[in-house]
Amino acid sequence: MKASPRQQQLLLDLQDRDNTIARLRRKRSTLPERAELDGLTGEAEQAKARFMAAQRELDAQNAEIARVEADVQLVSQRRARDEQLIAVSTSSKEAQALQSELDTLARRQSELEDRELEIMEVQERAQAEFSAAQQVLAGVDERRAAIRAKISEAEQRLDRELSSRGEERAGIAAELQRDLLDLYEELRGRIGIGAARLRGGVSEASNMSLTPAELSDIRSAAPDELVFCPGTGAILVRVEGE
């Protein structure tokens, strides 16, 4: 296949854009913030587990206090009723029975109030643990949100650069003859590189020096004749003065 030196130079420009695009894509997929975000996964899971456990404990203590408070209220209402009955009772036997029940209710209320104080102490500790766990989880979430914002910003910046380089590539490709572009794309898809410079007897496709016989064959080829890297098969572009 033949291609003018100008067309061959365009191949190098196209390869340079493709190298830049590949580098930008690698950079986008390997942003250091991604590793930092992944590193927080374990910490976030632990913080969430601690928060959920603290919440369950606090809910249990709140429910227990509510139950005891309801029992205290019932006992208090029963005592008030018995006190009213004993005040109007005309039967000594009934009054004695009511007084006995009042004594039992008083002991029960005292036990419940003591139990309520004990639960309130436990609830206070549970509330403190819940608040601490909530703060830790919020801190982890804030750090993750900040990292995600950095990732988004970096992605947007790289996407703009990729779009710009893509437009440049499209412009260069439009100037290339169809068969030459097709060959370049076929080689790039198969071996990872479509074209490279021949610089000082070294193929930049393989980064190896060519043998004297190989260099002689290349130098004897017409300027518009395509030559290829013996090591990789990529198109070698002879740059004037190199």
- Whether the model pTM is above 0.85: no
Residues 96 and 214 in one domain: no
Domains contained in the chain, number: 2
List per-residue pLDDT tens for the chain, 242 residues long: 899 999 999 999 999 999 999 999 999 999 999 999 999 999 999 999 999 999 999 999 999 999 998 988 888 888 888 788 877 776 778 778 878 887 888 888 888 888 889 999 999 999 999 999 999 999 999 999 999 999 999 999 999 999 999 999 999 999 999 999 999 999 999 999 999 999 989 999 999 999 999 999 998 999 999 999 999 999 999 986 54
Residues 201 and 96 in one domain: no
Q: What is the CATH number of the domain that holds 139?
A: 1.10.287.1490
What is the edge-to-edge ordering of all strands in the sheet holding 202-203?
208-209, 202-203, 195-199, 235-238, 227-228
Determine the structural domain holding residue 209 and report its residue range: 5-26+177-238
For 115-180, give the DSSP string.
HHHHHHHHHHHHHHHHHHHHHHHHHHHHHHHHHHHHHHHHHHHHHHHHHHHHHHHHHHHHHS-HHH
Considering 131, 164, 197, which residue would you say is the last residue of a domain?
164
Residues 212 and 153 in one domain: no
Considering 129, 164, 199, which residue would you say is the last residue of a domain?
164
